[in-house]
Chain A
């Protein structure tokens, strides 16, 4: 029976037409932690992949694997990608860090790009976006637009990335409106639309009339739309989910970086780099303003964005104290990247503690 089974498989094998009849100059694989249909983190990376396809046409072939768990499975997927002739692999989640390093060591000729990590090698680059710059701008809008002076913030996990976002948004909101107060809810998930909706409702019940979120689904925005308060698009523009609620959005725009890196690989100029780009090159991008945002607020927000992009304004400019009142940045001093990358404290004025 076994023999017959093998025979059948071989027979099928003969019938098959071999894939990849045309050969592209460069084969690029993307490894996603979620589905491209999440409309958040993975969706934006997939937009970046599509941008690469549009930019290079037949010269570059792209592929992807979705819902790849971090750890052993990721290592196997990337190894198989490398074996199957991919020249470049984008690993788009922090948890892929050790697997990327391991696989990269085995395939010195394959170029790896790892999002949000910090371990590099000759053939491993890292990249991340200064989303906090975008949060400074929408924090300003939030401070200006709140009437109850309460901004609700849905936070995912207590990691530096999220804490940094809260701090930058709070500082900007406070500068725009000295009476502003932040209420922060930790949901301990990146993606659970129902729970995110519950969190948004709880914050609105507690008086928040502007909702900011650092989770992946559009559900906080849909809740805001229904309850008649304001919110922002997060990761992608999300305009369609809350046309009356959406004040603006911060968008993870990986397109320019992906195109640039693929171009470098095609030209043979690719080398291991560490990129942490913000508003200037547009890795953290801003979506259009909602119609309800008054002209002067738009102008201020634009000025802020242009200032940050031009390097004249830094999201963290002293004097800033830590939450416990100890000084962090002196007058005019700006935060160094080292502190920002490992940020695990709130700035003065934010109530509550970061959960441990």
Chain B
């Protein structure tokens, strides 16, 4: 029972890997929510990504093609959501839940003959010099490409919303759809694109699970990760860079909890498992109470149906 036997270097390295999937999905969902759309179908898009990526990886024997396939799979599924909510103006909450149901079912149909297959490994890049740095090298520079991609995409999302006109348009559409429309931005088109981007991220998140994390296909393998990604977006207060912190805290909780158990420290697993959610609620209260909604990043039109009024 020696806490010092938990090596923080290894701990951080493994929580980076285990958080990558939810970080990717959350980045996608953040972009979607920024545009004012709440897509609760993350779990469904993830699992479709997991199976599409797996099928393509196995058929073409290429993990890279597999990862691309997983993103395409997620995007394809999100098109249904886009069509139903943006063109046919159905309720987003209900449509998102339906998307999860549909995605879970479709994934297991597609994956029927792919159980019990081991896909080819995704080779890890060898980063010269950096990976040889003591401590930091092992902690940060010996991962697979998707881990780096997830961090890069968070930074890219931050850049998009902070520094680019496109980001401003997306935010404007999400913040106040009527004004954005009045300013001449195409609300529907912006949202459809955001939904597709979100879908491809969720798909990639699923592909990372089935191709890299636990290289295998088993039905229901996302096991609720999509819902955690939704929580993560809230936790971050819709600020991209905070997603990284949030994802590593969420992932870190699980990893630390398992490590503590492994060295024989007694703890209440149930209590620990619910902590991230309680922390999220507290974070949410702090965000919303401090300055009121103004000044925070909660998109003003989140979940609202846009209707053109002429």
Instruction: Give A contacts to B, CB under 8 Å.
Output: 34-35, 37-39, 43, 152, 183-189, 191-199, 201-203, 205-208, 217-219, 222-223, 226, 240-241, 351-353, 355
Asked whether any CB of chain A lies closer than 8 Å to the CB of B254, the reply is yes
Instruction: Give B contacts to A, CB under 8 Å.
Output: 1, 5-7, 10-11, 14, 17-18, 21, 108, 111-112, 115-118, 121, 209, 213-216, 218-225, 254-255, 258-259, 261-264, 266, 268-270, 273
Instruction: Looking at the assembled complex, report how far the CB atom of B62 sits from the nearest CB atom of chain A, in whole angstroms.
Output: 19
Known contacts A38-B218, A39-B115, A198 near B223 by CB under 8 Å:
no
Cβ contact within 8 Å between A219 and B216: yes
Instruction: Looking at the assembled complex, report how far the CB atom of A69 sits from the nearest CB atom of chain B, in whole angstroms.
Output: 13
Instruction: Looking at the assembled complex, report how far the CB atom of B182 sits from the nearest CB atom of chain A, in whole angstroms.
Output: 42
- Complex Cα distance, B8 from A205, in Å, reads 11
Q: Could you say which residues of chain B place their CB within 8 Å of the CB of A203?
A: 258, 262
Can you name the residue of chain A whose Cβ is closest to the Cβ of B21? Answer: A194
Write 7 A-B pairs (CB below 8 A) sorted by A numbering.
Answer: A35-B108, A37-B218, A188-B269, A194-B225, A198-B14, A205-B14, A240-B116
- Complex Cα distance, B223 from A141, in Å, reads 32
- Complex Cα distance, B1 from A206, in Å, reads 11
List of 6 A-B pairs having minimum Cβ-Cβ separation, nearest first: A202-B258, A219-B214, A192-B223, A35-B219, A193-B214, A206-B262
Can you name the residue of chain B whose Cβ is closest to the Cβ of A189? Answer: B223
Cβ contact within 8 Å between A198 and B216: no
Q: Could you say which residues of chain A place their CB within 8 Å of the CB of B215?
A: 222
Cβ contact within 8 Å between B14 and A201: yes
Cβ contact within 8 Å between B219 and A38: yes
Instruction: Looking at the assembled complex, report how far the CB atom of A114 sits from the nearest CB atom of chain B, in whole angstroms.
Output: 24
- Complex Cα distance, B115 from A39, in Å, reads 7
Q: Could you say which residues of chain A place their CB within 8 Å of the CB of B18?
A: 194, 197-198, 201
Known contacts A35-B108, A193-B216, A240-B117, A202 near B221 by CB under 8 Å:
no
Instruction: Looking at the assembled complex, report how far the CB atom of B95 sits from the nearest CB atom of chain A, in whole angstroms.
Output: 23
Cβ contact within 8 Å between B261 and A217: no
Cβ contact within 8 Å between A152 and B219: no
* A-B pair number, CB within 8 angstroms: 122
Q: Could you say which residues of chain B place their CB within 8 Å of the CB of A183?
A: 262-264
Known contacts A37-B108, A188-B269, A189-B223, A194 near B261 by CB under 8 Å:
no
Given contacts A37-B218, A194-B18, 20 further A-B contacts (CB under 8 A): A34-B219, A35-B220, A183-B262, A187-B258, A189-B223, A193-B213, A193-B214, A194-B221, A196-B214, A197-B213, A201-B18, A202-B14, A202-B258, A202-B262, A205-B259, A205-B262, A208-B262, A222-B214, A226-B121, A352-B261
Cβ contact within 8 Å between B218 and A198: no
Cβ contact within 8 Å between A205 and B7: yes
Instruction: Looking at the assembled complex, report how far the CB atom of B112 sits from the nearest CB atom of chain A, in whole angstroms.
Output: 7
Cβ contact within 8 Å between A217 and B218: yes
Cβ contact within 8 Å between A194 and B214: yes
Q: Could you say which residues of chain B place their CB within 8 Å of the CB of A189?
A: 223
Q: Could you say which residues of chain A place their CB within 8 Å of the CB of B270?
A: 188
- The CB with the most chain A CB atoms within 10 A, among B209, B215, B254, is that of B215
Q: Could you say which residues of chain B place their CB within 8 Å of the CB of A351?
A: 1, 264
- The CB with the most chain B CB atoms within 10 A, among A202, A217, A218, is that of A202
Q: Could you say which residues of chain A place their CB within 8 Å of the CB of B264?
A: 183, 351-352
Instruction: Looking at the assembled complex, report how far the CB atom of B271 sits from the nearest CB atom of chain A, in whole angstroms.
Output: 11
Cβ contact within 8 Å between B273 and A188: yes
Known contacts A37-B108, A195-B223, A353 near B266 by CB under 8 Å:
yes
Q: Could you say which residues of chain A place their CB within 8 Å of the CB of B6?
A: 205-206
Cβ contact within 8 Å between A202 and B255: yes
Q: Could you say which residues of chain B place their CB within 8 Å of the CB of A186?
A: 261, 269
Cβ contact within 8 Å between B209 and A206: no
Known contacts A35-B108, A240-B116, A352-B266, A193 near B258 by CB under 8 Å:
no
